[in-house]
Amino acid sequence: MQVIKIETTPRTDFGKKASRAMRREGLVPGVLYGGGETVSFTVSAKALKPLIYTPNSYIVELMINGKAEKAVMREVQFHPVREEILHIDFYRVQEGKPVAITVPVRLTGNAEGVKVGGKLVLSTRKLVVSGMVDKLPDEITVDVTSLGVGKTIFVGDLKSDDLKFLTPATTAICAVRVTRASRGADQAAQ
């Protein structure tokens, strides 16, 4: 899994008034928790853009007081109208313990159902998985080559030795939908 570094500054002022003042300066209040003491900090909104506005998932290396802390982004709060980041939470990565993180899904292959006129539909763009930090993939690749018309691939169909899928097994990842063209090809074959 890719690592992204973010510089932070420790936060000493708390409360609504202090948070508003920070946001006016282009800073976002944040918290790092789990596996030790909880650390409050501020980070530049510009520094968060490559982490938030991307389909990829990252392990984040937070630089707090000159010390590097590995973490995963847990929650982001946005302003309901202006879409600015109000607050961000990170969860500390602990050695020897699995981490839960969302990983993007990438489809490969040319589905059999598409060749006869069906339409491939991606239902789930990201899956929540749990695993050791060094075993986490950048993306989960799903081969759709054998997928026929009206068939679906579910999370329960995926197998991995290094990962545990936390997304429910009944969640559909992708499917080949029946279209008029595929129905016409079906009737012409009979």
Quick one: pLDDT at residue 170? 92
Q: Which CATH superfamily is domain 3-94 in?
A: Ribosomal Protein L25; Chain P (2.40.240.10)
Residue range(s) of every CATH 2.170.120.20 domain in the chain: 100-189
Cα-Cα-Cα-Cα dihedral sign, residues 44, 49, 52, 56 = negative
Residue 186, pLDDT above cutoff 60:
no
Residue among 55, 73, 56, 68 at smallest CA distance from 8: 68
Q: Which CATH superfamily is domain 100-189 in?
A: Ribosomal protein L25, C-terminal domain (2.170.120.20)
pTM of the predicted model, to two decimals? 0.75
Residue 171, pLDDT above cutoff 70:
yes
Grade residue 25 by pLDDT with cuts at 50, 70 and 90.
confident
Residue range(s) of every CATH 2.40.240.10 domain in the chain: 3-94
d(CA 6, CA 3): 10
Grade residue 188 by pLDDT with cuts at 50, 70 and 90.
low
